[in-house]
Structure formats: C-alpha cells, structure tokens
Amino acid sequence: MSQHSGYTVSIHYDHRLFRHDIAGSTAHARMLAKTGIISQEDAAKIVDGLEKIGQEIEGGDFPWDPALEDLHMNIESRLHHLIGPAAGRLHTGRSRNDQIALDMRLYTKDVAEQTIQGLRRVQRSLASLAQRYSQVLMPGYTHLQRAQPVLFAHHMLAYFQMFQRDITRFDDCVKRADTLPLGSGALAGVPYPTDRDFLAKELGFSQISANSMDAVSDRDFVVDYLSAASLTMMHFSRLAEELVLWSSREFGFIRLEDAFTTGSSIMPQKRNPDFAELARGRTGRVYGHLMAMLTVLKGLPLTYNRDLQEDKEALFDTVDTLLPTLEVFQGMLAGLELDRERVESLAGESYMLATDLADYLVNKGVPFREAHGIVKDLCGFCESNGKGLDGLLLADYHRFSQEFGQDVFQITARSSAAARDNPGGTAPQQVSQELDKVRRILKEAGYGI
C-alpha cells in the first residue's frame, strides 16, 4: 500500500453490510448455476464458503485486511482462501458497482422496517399515556402562552399523528428501495444469460431495475431514508422540547423516571432531562447527513463515481442516531408521570376561558369581532384591578356588555373542552373516538395496548 492508499479504504465502516453482501453473493452464485454459467459443483462450494465466512464474521474471527480496501474484496479474498479457484467464478456477470448498490438497497429496506417497528412502539407508549390520563385537562399553548384548555390525551395523540406520517414515509422508503440492481454490471449490463427475475425472488425484491446506468448510480433511496429520518427527528425534537419544559420547576407538569435524567456535578438537587436534550441536539446531526448526501449527489455525472462511497457513513450514523432515539422515547414516555392537580389547576385558570366568553357572546348574537373586543377590554379591566375573570361579578360583566347573563358563570375548563365537539377537537367524546382509532391502528400493526 502507498502512504495515501488508506484514503480510499472503507472496510472500517462498510463491514456492517456483510450479511447483505453474503446474501447477494449467495443468490448470485445460485443464479449462475441455474443458468449454466458456472457448474452446480462450483456454486455449492461458493455457497458453503460464504456460509463459513458469515459464521467467522459473526463470531469475530474473520481476518479483515485494510489493504483490500472494502468489504467485497475482503470476502472474495477469504473465499478464495477457503475454497480455491472456484471462488474466482463468483464475480462472473457482476461488478462491485451493482454489488454495492444491491447491498445498500437490502440494508436500507431492513433498517426502514426496523424504524417503522420502533415508531410503532413509541406510538404505543403515547397511546398508553393518553389512555392513562384520558380525562385530565391541561393548558394548551400558542406562542408558549397559555391559550385554551385541552385534554392531555389530545396533546399526546398529536404526536401519534406525527409519527404516523413518519411511518408512511419509511414505508415509502422501503418501496423505493425495493428494486433489484444486481445484473446491471458496471454500467451497461452484462454479456451473460443471467436470470434477474430469479435474483429478485431470491433476495425479496418486487421488481428489477429498468436501466443499468441508473441502477448503479441511484442513491435516491438513501436520501429518502435520510429525509424521512430528518422529519422524524424533528418530531422527536419538538416532543423533547416539551418534555424539557414540562419537567422544569417553572412548569412542573411531569416527572421523568430517574433512568432518563442525570444529576448535576455540583448541584445535588437537580435532575436534568439529558436524554430529551440529547435527542433535540442530535436532530441537527441527522439534518447534516441529509444535506451532505444531497451535496454529494448534486454534481455527479452518470454512472458510478467514487463519491458514492460517502453514502454509507451518512446513512449508518443516521440509523445509529435514530434507532436508539426510538428506544429511549419508548421507555421515557412509558415511565412519565403527570401531575394531574397542577395541570388541571392551570387549565382552569380564568384567562384560559377568554375565548369561551367571546363565543358566549357570539351565541347571544354579538358579531365575533365585536365580542372579541369586549372580552379583550374585560381582560384589561381585570389586569388593571388585580383580579381574574373568575373574580368578576355580574355587574362587572355588564360594564362591558348587557348580553352577559347569570349563565356566564357556568363556563368552566370542562365546558370549554366539551364545546370543541367536532372531528379533531379536544372534546372528551372526540378524543375518546380518536383514542379508539389509535388503538385499532396499533392492534392491526401488532402493537395493541
């Protein structure tokens, strides 16, 4: 090796593709024998040798050699050592270009499926939380200002919907990666009577690539995964931000299990929500991989260029960031404890019902804009006099509108939530129906609660 040859070495990270590479090579050997391109005897030796190599790698006994640069050459060299000249026939009718494209598609399909499973487990934790606290009211926010009472379950199920969209994106990612590139050769196809349909069936692909030049240079499916992962991490970052806020003494809404917090090095009273903060921070890391991959691809001419070697670390690190995040949030949400008394007291805080007072006037025939102005003035009066809306007398209401009657005192946080009784609203009846739908979704996916 020259002093600079290490610059091209990828074995230190692409070795994780060994299962997919061996699966692809095994199917390729069987196809070569089926079509008569190589003998059944040679194919049997190759398959047996590949199986032994897989066992060596699993057991940590494989002799990796950086001088061979990548996973493919390491396996091919070891195969030759184990079975002799027959190993040289394995690479008939393929190139490292379509070989790595195959490995990456197989890997992406696998990790996208794992991601979907992890998201389902997070959804189950969210649904369990919503079910446990199904009747608890909390303050809903806009601009981080208390706005209107909502059910805590409604808030949790908002994240369920975000992750449901993420699941559809990863499902699309599986579908887009589900095209067999093997058989494309280096770029132009191969001059052998290969059976690509057989390969597709053996390796679990629903279709074969239509254009050999596109097949070896396409990494859209990697971008698909990185894009879906970026959106998913964004959703986790939003949830993490709320968990950080809610677990602070200023909010005091929730308590996280000790397993998902850490102490301060000098302040013994503190329980820092470090797991949530790390998820929030690592979101930027995943964004960076997406932008890096888009930049790698933006100026590449057809077909294969060594730049594409950069797809692996971006994808691998994204997977290594996202999958543990799914596991952490599943556990963190499952152990979350809500301070019912605290959140319900704030949900019933008088200014939270200002919109309901405006709606009350609208139901009395007052135009909404006029009603909005009346209640705004009413709130200003309360602030000037150091009292809340719940401290007003009917005479105080009449200073601003004669439409207020004794029934205005029947407006509560519960009545406010119950009034939002339309599809997608926070009324208990609507949230109960939403929770039923969520339970059905999880049950059909095999993650019932």
CB atoms within 10 A of CB 279: 26
Asked if residues 350 and 388 have their Cβ atoms less than 8 Å apart, the reply is yes
Alpha-carbon distance of 119 to 329, in angstroms, equals 10
Tokens (6 digits) for 26: 């095994």
Alpha-carbon distance of 275 to 333, in angstroms, equals 12
Annotated active-site residue 80? The verdict is no
Alpha-carbon distance of 416 to 420, in angstroms, equals 7
Annotated active-site residue 5? The verdict is no
Verify cis geometry, omega within 30 degrees of 0, for the bond prior to 8: no
Task: Check 2, 4, 143, 384 and give the catalytic one.
Answer: 143
Sequence-distant (≥ 6) Cβ neighbours of residue 413 within 8 angstroms: 137, 149, 344, 347, 348, 352, 353
Alpha-carbon distance of 424 to 189, in angstroms, equals 53
Asked if residues 416 and 427 have their Cβ atoms less than 8 Å apart, the reply is no
Phi, psi of 401 (to 5 degrees): -165, 135
DSSP string across 257-282: -GGG-B--SS-TT--B-HHHHHHHHH
Alpha-carbon distance of 227 to 169, in angstroms, equals 9
Task: Check 5, 39, 248, 264 and give the catalytic one.
Answer: 264
Strand partners, 254: 338
Q: How far is CA 73 from CA 21, 77, 101, 238, in A?
A: 11, 6, 15, 44
Positions annotated as catalytic residues are 143, 264
